[in-house]
Chain A
Amino acid sequence: MTEPILSVRNLKKHYPIKSGLLNRKVGATKAVDGISFDVHPGETVGLVGESGCGKSTAATSIIRLEDATDGEVIFNGGNRASETRREDGAHPNDVTEFNKRELKQFRRDAQMIFQDPSSSFNPRMTVGSAVAELLLVHGMDDKPRRRAIVEDLLERVGLSAEDYDRYPHEFSGGQKQRIGLARALVLNPDFIVADEPVSALDVSIKAEILSLINDLQEKYGMSMLFISHDMSVISKVCDRVAVMYLGEIVEIGDVDEIFENPQHPYTEALLSAIPTPDPRSRNEGIELKGTVPSPTNPPSGCRFHTRCHRVIQPPDMEFEQESWRAILNFRDRVAQEAIDLESIRENALGSQDSGSGVTDQAIKSQIRSEFGIPERIEEPTAETAVEEALDALVNEDTDSAREHLMSTFETPCETSKPEQIEHEPGHRSACHLNTSKGKTVELTPGDD
């Protein structure tokens, strides 16, 4: 197997939360919390996940716009091939340890395409000089040569040489993204990070830019890390894809393999969100309820268990998966003391016909219907626990309600962290459902 051009090992980026008079650190937002993957020469790896999962932070930490908290980013592009670890275990190609001079050299070999074409150009600079600035920064003083290189490049990305002297506001979003591509290419890098390069564009322009990216990448043999929240975009450009959830990679593998055979429930949910062009096919979209939990205080165990539609049931119970999810949601809301009894009472009042007060029974069934818990749960122990919790809630005894729910309902997903399981060579996922299906893999820093 050839040497990867980029290998990320256990990369972490935590933002400290400071408060108080002395700016004491009271916690950290774990935007990226230990991700590992490789990018091989000529390959495009996708990084996909919903907003706030840390994919853009991962990108800026890898390219070192921000300093990573922990972990290694080993970049073997440029003339850095075949370096071995030094005796103290540090790698000479570790981007996070680069000094000023090495970092400047690294900038020549790794560039980035930005998300928002409208703000990624200095409005007071012609686009030509914005692209040529990179050449100037790296010491090319020869102005005509700079201009020649940039004009040639502008033509290659589908614009004309005369556009050199125009200002950013004279271009459309798609054209600006072409210029952004030119800027990323002008130093002839081996590796490009594309941070949602098409998410701000119209659908028709999107396809054009994607095919341009594909063409250029093929032509110049670059490797690419392509970040997106859109699985359909990933399928068009990527060879492999890593699915991120709340700062962690939950599944990684070849695009075809992942699309045909997703192993992680979160990947399933993302894939089900791709619209199909056939109006007759009823899209059974998996709807993820709730918002992404805060990365400051991520859920225990598997981080996805708070929203997972396939969360594992306790060994001694058996439910409809849907009502199990509903019970867990109910339990979590009670635990957060986020049940607003007053508004539930009002809702109950609205749904009943006679206006004479609300009975406790009505409130309880209102709570059940709001959380989607069936009126009668098949499992007797569960039914008793829910009923007792509801009674306690109606009597405004949140503590004992929480007690009942917490002691009865517990999923294995929240108690232990899932291991990375290898399904096929290169296809790994981290989900308790798959523990029995494959062998555990552990990526260590030495594993390169």
Chain B
Amino acid sequence: MATEQPDTFDEVNWESVRSSSGIVNLALKTKLMLITTLPLLALWLYDRVAVGQREKTFVQLGKDLGLSGPFETLGLTWNPAGLDYIFIFTIFLFAFYMILPLYENPRMTRYYWKEFKRNRPAVVSLVWLAFVFVVGIIGPLFIDKPEPDILKSFQPPVYATVDTANIVQCVGEASGGTCQGTWQHPLGTTGSGRDVLAFMVHGTTITMKIAFITTLIVALIGISVGTISAYSGGWVDETLMRMTDIVLAFPTLIFFLMITYIYGASLGLFIVIFATFAWGGAARYIRSKALSVAEEEFIDATRISGASRYRVVRRHIVPNTASSIITNLTLLVPGFLLAEAQLSFLGLGDAGLLSWGQLIASGRSSLEYAPWIILAPGFILFFTILAFNFLGDALLDALNPEAESEAEK
């Protein structure tokens, strides 16, 4: 037909086009993800297989690679736990699937930013959360874990004072029965003599771990269940939705207390239990949104292009449910942070954990004369949760171009 119709725009020889494909054509984000995740996986396997219980992973790795010298000079003695691997993995996901696409599509990014920055509190919230994120990631590299030192208990923050009757020894100047705070402990110390600032920096990492890992688990299960349920229909839909009902009705707190009673509290347990029973609402929400998206003509238009079912769901249904997913998650995360703080405050968390909740709990009995132990982490927690809520609200508006175009009419 091409020879008879010289006006045909571009005759594509599909047989030749079809032959070229393979790993070279993977998207940049997939390549980067593979490049970063594979070493992480290798390290995890190495940790599991070759490193003993009492050895530190990187010390052992240095020995095995014959690089003990350089590792020591760099101060690489880190001993990552299982949760750390998952945390790093989620950060890679976040960087390559959220941040990188924003960089790759500057037009889209500018558009979203224009919409987003109309909401001033949300911009402030974003800055705050970015700050918390950065502190959580790099803070522990510069600030050592606060060690208990009973001689330095209840030191007041800088410019504040405390009655010497309540403390063992004053690090700063003591005059007239009161002890002055010093820059050595800018935010004071706890009853066990731990530095509050260092405690909070390490607590930020815990907060980030909770936020990122629960988001990953809830998003993964929620999106899969919601979209599969909506797009398959029939008995698949029925089974998944009844499962969702069970998850929604499950008494997670009681289950968590029971597990804690048997195995002892740990952060990993908290995250896994609360996240695996929190996706019910998200799944149901996403399903209803996906059902309405699946009715749209552009889904038919994509199916008629010859696209696979996976492509239709991945490229067209999931992105169009994004606004509901993001809102749902930004409202879930503060819930987890609060739950952790509350359980810690009630003494149901891992007492050895350097989380904001544990810090608040440790100031519980000395609130009368050492309020800084509770106030500092309390404010930070409050602002972080507030920021998540503002952010969710603004993202919902910014990510919904349809609502915007309706409003312009």
| Chain A residues in the interface with B (C-beta under 8 A) | 60, 63, 65, 103-104, 107-108, 111-112, 114-116, 119-126, 130, 133-135, 137-141, 148-149, 152-153, 156, 165, 167, 169, 180, 183, 185, 187-188, 190, 219-221
How long is the Cα–Cα vector from A428 to B167 in the complex, in angstroms? 105
Q: Does B307 contact A (CB under 8 A)?
A: yes
Q: Say which one of B30-38, B128-136, B140-148, B397-405 lies at the interface with A.
A: B397-405
Q: Does B21 contact A (CB under 8 A)?
A: yes
How long is the Cα–Cα vector from A152 to B7 in the complex, in angstroms? 13
Residues of B within 8 A of A60 (CB): 300
CB-based closest 10 A-B pairs: A107-B306, A169-B405, A120-B297, A134-B305, A139-B18, A104-B306, A119-B297, A124-B319, A114-B297, A137-B307
**Interface-centre pick from B296, B304, B320, B404 (highest chain A CB count, 10 A):** B304
Q: Is the CB of B14 within 8 A of A139?
A: yes
Closest beta carbon of chain A to B294's beta carbon, Å: 12
Residues of A within 8 A of B303 (CB): 65
How long is the Cα–Cα vector from A63 to B304 in the complex, in angstroms? 8
Known: A122-B316, A122-B320, A221-B5. A65 touches B300 (CB 8 A): yes
Closest beta carbon of chain A to B140's beta carbon, Å: 37
Closest beta carbon of chain A to B18's beta carbon, Å: 4
Q: Is the CB of B404 within 8 A of A219?
A: no
Q: Is the CB of A167 within 8 A of B401?
A: yes
Q: Which residue of A lies closest to B300 (CB)?
A: A65
How long is the Cα–Cα vector from A219 to B300 in the complex, in angstroms? 27
How long is the Cα–Cα vector from A116 to B1 in the complex, in angstroms? 31
Q: Is the CB of A188 within 8 A of B11?
A: yes
Known: A124-B320, A137-B311, A221-B5. A107 touches B304 (CB 8 A): yes
Q: Is the CB of B17 within 8 A of A119?
A: no
In addition to A122-B319, A133-B307, A139-B21, 6 A-B residue pairs with Cβ atoms within 8 Å of each other are: A114-B297, A120-B301, A137-B305, A139-B14, A148-B10, A220-B5
Q: Is the CB of B307 within 8 A of A114?
A: no
**Interface-centre pick from A121, A134, A188, A221 (highest chain B CB count, 10 A):** A188
Q: Is the CB of A138 within 8 A of B9?
A: no
Closest beta carbon of chain B to A345's beta carbon, Å: 45
Known: A107-B306, A140-B17, A165-B107. A220 touches B301 (CB 8 A): no
Q: Is the CB of A141 within 8 A of B5?
A: no
Closest beta carbon of chain B to A378's beta carbon, Å: 54
Closest beta carbon of chain B to A365's beta carbon, Å: 50
Q: Is the CB of B9 within 8 A of A114?
A: no
Residues of B within 8 A of A138 (CB): 14, 17-18, 306
Q: Is the CB of B301 within 8 A of A114?
A: yes
How long is the Cα–Cα vector from A107 to B300 in the complex, in angstroms? 12
Closest beta carbon of chain A to B317's beta carbon, Å: 10
Closest beta carbon of chain A to B85's beta carbon, Å: 32
How long is the Cα–Cα vector from A8 to B160 in the complex, in angstroms? 89
Q: Is the CB of B298 within 8 A of A124?
A: no
Residues of A within 8 A of B7 (CB): 219-220
Q: Does B232 contact A (CB under 8 A)?
A: no
| Chain B residues in the interface with A (C-beta under 8 A) | 1, 4-5, 7-12, 14, 17-18, 20-21, 25, 107, 111, 296-298, 300-307, 311, 315-316, 319-320, 322, 401-402, 404-405
Residues of A within 8 A of B4 (CB): 221
Could you jot down 16 A-B contacts, CB within 8 Å? A65-B300, A104-B306, A107-B306, A111-B305, A121-B301, A122-B302, A122-B316, A139-B14, A139-B18, A140-B12, A141-B25, A169-B404, A187-B12, A188-B8, A221-B1, A221-B5
- The majority secondary structure among interface residues of chain B is helix
How long is the Cα–Cα vector from A183 to B307 in the complex, in angstroms? 14
Q: Is the CB of B304 within 8 A of A111?
A: yes
Q: Which residue of A lies closest to B322 (CB)?
A: A124
How long is the Cα–Cα vector from A165 to B300 in the complex, in angstroms? 22
**Interface-centre pick from A140, A153, A156 (highest chain B CB count, 10 A):** A140
Q: Which residue of B lies closest to A60 (CB)?
A: B300
Q: Is the CB of A112 within 8 A of B301?
A: yes
Q: Is the CB of A139 within 8 A of B17?
A: yes
Q: Which residue of A lies closest to B323 (CB)?
A: A124
**Interface-centre pick from A65, A121, A133, A187 (highest chain B CB count, 10 A):** A133
Closest beta carbon of chain B to A21's beta carbon, Å: 13
How long is the Cα–Cα vector from A115 to B14 in the complex, in angstroms? 29
How long is the Cα–Cα vector from A104 to B306 in the complex, in angstroms? 5
How long is the Cα–Cα vector from A108 to B303 in the complex, in angstroms? 12
**Interface-centre pick from A103, A120, A153 (highest chain B CB count, 10 A):** A120
How long is the Cα–Cα vector from A139 to B315 in the complex, in angstroms? 16
How long is the Cα–Cα vector from A133 to B301 in the complex, in angstroms? 11
Residues of A within 8 A of B316 (CB): 122, 125
Closest beta carbon of chain B to A177's beta carbon, Å: 12
How long is the Cα–Cα vector from A447 to B315 in the complex, in angstroms? 43
How long is the Cα–Cα vector from A190 to B9 in the complex, in angstroms? 13
How long is the Cα–Cα vector from A135 to B10 in the complex, in angstroms? 12
Q: Is the CB of B404 within 8 A of A220?
A: no
Q: Which residue of A lies closest to B306 (CB)?
A: A107
**Complex partner residue of A124 from B14, B20, B300, B401, CB under 8 angstroms:** B401
Closest beta carbon of chain B to A254's beta carbon, Å: 25
Residues of A within 8 A of B10 (CB): 148-149, 152, 188
How long is the Cα–Cα vector from A122 to B317 in the complex, in angstroms? 9
Closest beta carbon of chain B to A419's beta carbon, Å: 36
How long is the Cα–Cα vector from A422 to B232 in the complex, in angstroms? 46
Residues of B within 8 A of A165 (CB): 107
Residues of B within 8 A of A123 (CB): 320, 401-402
Residues of A within 8 A of B296 (CB): 119-120
Known: A114-B300, A120-B297, A122-B320. A137 touches B402 (CB 8 A): no
Closest beta carbon of chain A to B409's beta carbon, Å: 10
Residues of B within 8 A of A139 (CB): 14, 17-18, 20-21
Closest beta carbon of chain A to B44's beta carbon, Å: 33
Q: Which residue of B lies closest to A193 (CB)?
A: B304
Q: Which residue of B lies closest to A112 (CB)?
A: B304
Residues of A within 8 A of B301 (CB): 112, 114, 120-121, 180, 183
Q: Is the CB of A65 within 8 A of B297?
A: no
Residues of A within 8 A of B297 (CB): 114-116, 119-120
Known: A107-B305, A133-B307. A121 touches B298 (CB 8 A): yes
Residues of B within 8 A of A188 (CB): 8-12
**Complex partner residue of B306 from A103, A148, A152, A169, CB under 8 angstroms:** A103
Closest beta carbon of chain B to A162's beta carbon, Å: 11
Residues of A within 8 A of B14 (CB): 108, 138-139
How long is the Cα–Cα vector from A185 to B20 in the complex, in angstroms? 23
Q: Which residue of A lies closest to B303 (CB)?
A: A65
Q: Which residue of B lies closest to A137 (CB)?
A: B307
Residues of A within 8 A of B9 (CB): 149, 152-153, 156, 185, 188
Closest beta carbon of chain A to B225's beta carbon, Å: 22
Q: Is the CB of A134 within 8 A of B21?
A: no
How long is the Cα–Cα vector from A134 to B14 in the complex, in angstroms? 12
Known: A119-B297, A152-B9, A188-B8. A137 touches B306 (CB 8 A): yes
Closest beta carbon of chain A to B247's beta carbon, Å: 26
Q: Which residue of B lies closest to A185 (CB)?
A: B9
Residues of B within 8 A of A130 (CB): 298
How long is the Cα–Cα vector from A141 to B404 in the complex, in angstroms? 33
Residues of A within 8 A of B18 (CB): 138-139
How long is the Cα–Cα vector from A106 to B352 in the complex, in angstroms? 64
Residues of B within 8 A of A108 (CB): 14, 306
Residues of A within 8 A of B320 (CB): 122-124
How long is the Cα–Cα vector from A169 to B14 in the complex, in angstroms? 32
Q: Is the CB of A65 within 8 A of B12?
A: no
